[in-house]
Structure 1
Amino acid sequence: MSGGWAGSDRRTELPPDWPVIRADVLDRDGHRCRWREHGTVCGKHATEVDHIRPGNDHRPENLQALCREHHAIKSSREGNAARWAVRRQRPAERHPGLI
């Protein structure tokens, strides 16, 4: 594995027919990046399929074609948000007998 898959077990969570789903999404989106920012769609050649809402919802309406650059940006933002969510959790209170 290389790139975004390095050190990830995410691939094991994909359905057995993922190659077919992936090809269908890329075809549906015309192999064009659907990343939208400031009202503009990227439109570069897309080689990757992204889950719009993270998780295991592999329905076509939750999938979009993205170029490698924008998929990396989106994945990085999601990973950072998840790490910050954990950090923002209130720490466990110390037992009064240990204070």
Structure 2
Amino acid sequence: MSGGWKGSRRRSRLPSNWRSEIRPAAHARNPDHICHLCGRPGGDYLDHKTPGDDHSPENLDWAHDRVWPHCHRFKSSAEGNAAPRNKPGRRRPPEQHPGLR
């Protein structure tokens, strides 16, 4: 597992009313914090159902992250593994065989 928010700039992209309005509204809409991924109560993390910066109430719901069954961690890991990689490979380009020079 990675370091969570370590090195991430995602927090700076959250709207200014995230803690004062958006999180409380999500709590009021789903006070038992039913996980939208597995359907069990006790979700401890407010998750974006579809990845990105859509902070609309329809796109936000609770998921298990720090508590079993860790649904949000598995979802985020799958999304990260499916994302395209923009970093160049670490391998050197193949060299021509010395006898062919």
TM-score of the aligned structures, taking structure 1 as reference length? 0.69
Q: Deviations over 1:29-65 (max 9, x none)?
A: 22221214xxxx2x13112111111111100001111
4+ residue runs over 2 A deviation: none
Structure 2: any 5+ residue segments left out of the alignment? 87-101
- Asked whether 1:64 is paired with 2:66, we answer no
Considering Cα pairs closer than 8 Å and 6+ residues apart, tell me whether 1 or 2 has the greater RCO. 1
Number of matched residues?
A: 79
Task: Provide the identity percentage.
Answer: 44
RMSD (Å), alpha carbons: 2.0
TM-score of the aligned structures, taking structure 2 as reference length? 0.68
Give the structure with higher Rg (CA). Answer: 2
Higher helix fraction (1 or 2): 1
Structure 1: any 5+ residue segments left out of the alignment? 88-99
Higher strand fraction (1 or 2): 1
